[in-house]
Amino acid sequence: MDTFKKNFLSEGYVAIPELLTTDEVKELQAIYNQLLSEKEKTIGLRSDLAGNTVAENEKMERITQIMRPSLVEEKLQNHHVYQKALQWAKQLLGDDMDLDFDMLINKAPHTNTETPWHQDAAYWIDLPDKRAASCWIALDNVHEENGCMWFLPVKEQEVLPHQSLSGGGALYCNSDTTGAQAVPLLAGGCTFHDGFTLHYSKGNTTNGPRRALILNFRPKQMILLEREQGMDHTGDRKKRS
């Protein structure tokens, strides 16, 4: 554990090869697929991070994002993956860490649409306590061809200038990414990264989906402060204020 914490604090990210068992992965895959198929259930929480660049007669979502899925699916809310990830977040950043929000991000087969380089903090409001950890859980075996995570450490706690993709969708920033590292994982593995760490993933060129469950943690007092300022991570994704 000490090595994981040291790497997280020095590099801004760390890989955990086995967070979930095979049975736990299968349980989450079933819940995940149900949420992807039930578009009515996720109205207002769902978007395509690829932006509105597909012709109107092409309705396929390339990078499906569903914010706060546990709000609409009790089976997900009660799954012990949340407690497993929370224990890791506490070990990495302190006992006052708690779940801020969750989300699903799925890359559909043969869409080959990258998620551009960005920092998660570009989406968040500025808070006095900067501690945060995003747990990116692979529900499929992930590698470069289907969109595994790439990381580039940022040593300073600063947010680089970000822009929105044409037609909306994800934020991106321009930065020298020399030295970036790909992190392939088996299903059930995960990474943790902080809000200032630059990260990216290539498009999915394979026959299968690339399903990821992301759990975001920060200090309990900062979550309360967010909510007081109206930030509940269910609305439109915007640059931080």
Q: Which helix (H) or strand (E) holds 172?
A: strand 171-172
pLDDT in tens, 194-211: 999 999 999 999 999 999
pLDDT of residue 236: 53
192 close to 199: Cβ distance less than 8 angstroms = no
Q: Is the pLDDT of residue 3 over 70?
A: yes
Q: Which helix (H) or strand (E) holds 215?
A: strand 210-219
Which whole number is the average pLDDT over 200-228? Answer: 97
pLDDT in tens, 65-119: 999 999 999 999 899 999 999 999 999 999 999 999 999 999 999 999 999 999 9
What span, in angstroms and rounded, lies between the C-alpha atoms of 35 and 42?
7
**Domains along the sequence of the chain with CATH:** 2-228 (2.60.120.620)
pLDDT band at 59 (very low <50, low <70, confident <90, very high): low
55, burial (CB in 10 Å: exposed 0-12, middle 13-18, buried 19+): exposed
Residue 198, helix vs strand vs coil: strand
**Any bridge partners for residue 172, and if so which?**
163
**Any bridge partners for residue 133, and if so which?**
217
pLDDT of residue 237: 45
- Nearest by Cα to 138 from 180, 105, 161, 99: 105
